[in-house]
Amino acid sequence: MKQTPKAWKGRILSLLLAAALLVPGFSFPAQAVEEEQAKPAAASALPTQPVGPYSNSTIIHIKTYEELKKIDPSDPKAYFILDNDITIPQRKYLTFESPLKGVFDGRGYTISFADFRPNVKYLFHEIDATGVVQNVRFTGTLSQSTPGSDGDLEHGPCGNTVRGAVINCLSEVTGEAASGFARDIEGGVVANCVSVVDPQNPIARTSTTGGVVNSVWKQDMQNNLPADTLVDSGAYDLSQDTVLTKLNANVGEYGCEWEIGAEGYPVLIPSALDESGPWPERPEPNPGPTEPDPQ
């Protein structure tokens, strides 16, 4: 009997759900099956735990602001590693207009935005579909983040758009219209993240073709993202050990663990990456269907 598209969709989702339940620390709340069925396919194909380097990755360590401002975020093979907390100095211009295509691994260290010039908005303009930001604590003031009729200035530390993945990060940024991580999620995913931003959107302003997975924000924050883009995510009492357990169950092999900080909410514990390898081969892009050889 011929399968309808709807039947095939149901079968594929069932297989995905069954596979997800085999992942250590992963569980669906009562309503999450419905939410997962609504989750866009683009987001479900992205990582939701921090990633390690590949065999052809170029590992680049960043210890100072001077080193940070020289990186090339457009290099898809780059695996950037923070080795220290870094503050963007007052009145220094640093906004990468090229989308991040590689991996930016904060290793639990902090990027602080200090009294930016009016024309500086964020760290990365956009997270590309191949880009990953992970294990970063963002703090400080995004002074250019202001309300606008079209929302163009309501950005976060990861810029305007997340098409890739933001994983295992903490956002404490402030700004008149700051979002926790980005203005929009478009086909991307924000996973295992914590937001205590003041005063606007805990994760992003909009998410139409993306997902938010296993992420938490403080109880007095008003989330405006559609319920069908949220999977096991929401407002919590962030001082509770249950939240800590929830986050640490999903850090994976390359994630920094969390602890309850003096602030009363989870903060990242800095840790070094074991660079001994060996690293896996980078997956080849799916070329799509091919025509059979002529007989």
* 114-170 confidence digits (pLDDT tens): 765 554 567 888 999 999 999 999 998 876 555 554 445 667 888 889 999 999 999
Give the pLDDT score at 35.
37
Residues 183/164, Cβ–Cβ less than 8 Å = no
Where is pLDDT greater, at 197 or 130?
130
Give the pLDDT score at 174.
83
Give the pLDDT score at 179.
86
Token duo for residue 252:
């994976």
282 pLDDT higher than 50:
yes
CB neighbour list of residue 161: distance below 8 Å, 6 or more residues apart = 126, 127, 182, 183, 184, 185, 186, 188
* 170-198: average pLDDT: 89
Cα separation, 140 vs 128, whole angstroms: 24
Where is pLDDT greater, at 19 or 68?
68
Residue with tokens 């069908």: 228
Cα separation, 215 vs 190, whole angstroms: 7
Where is pLDDT greater, at 284 or 266?
266
- Sign of the Cα torsion 144, 148, 150, 154 reads positive
Residues 25/250, Cβ–Cβ less than 8 Å = yes
Give the pLDDT score at 224.
83
Cα separation, 80 vs 72, whole angstroms: 10
14 pLDDT higher than 90:
no
Give the pLDDT score at 39.
44
Tell me which DSSP letter residue 19 carries: H
Cα separation, 102 vs 99, whole angstroms: 9
Token duo for residue 271:
């840790």
Most confident of 22-36, 85-99, 174-188, 247-261: 247-261
194 pLDDT higher than 90:
yes
- For the chain, how long is the longest CA-to-CA vector? 71
% of the chain at pLDDT higher than 70: 71
Residues 67/94, Cβ–Cβ less than 8 Å = no
Where is pLDDT greater, at 227 or 145?
227
Residues 70/61, Cβ–Cβ less than 8 Å = no
Q: Single out the residue of 13, 269, 11, 40 nearest to residue 137, CA to CA.
A: 269
* 18-61 confidence digits (pLDDT tens): 444 444 544 434 333 333 334 444 456 899 999 999 999 999 99
290 pLDDT higher than 50:
no
Q: Kindly calculate the radius of gyration of the chain based on its CA atoms and give it in whole angstroms.
A: 19
Q: Single out the residue of 172, 133, 179 nearest to residue 152, CA to CA.
A: 179
| Mean pLDDT rounded to a whole number for the chain | 79
Helices (H), 5-111: 5-20, 32-38, 41-44, 65-68
Token duo for residue 242:
């249950």
- Contacts for 63-69: CB closer than 8 Å, 24+ residues apart: 65/89, 65/92, 65/94, 68/94, 69/94
Token duo for residue 39:
């989750």
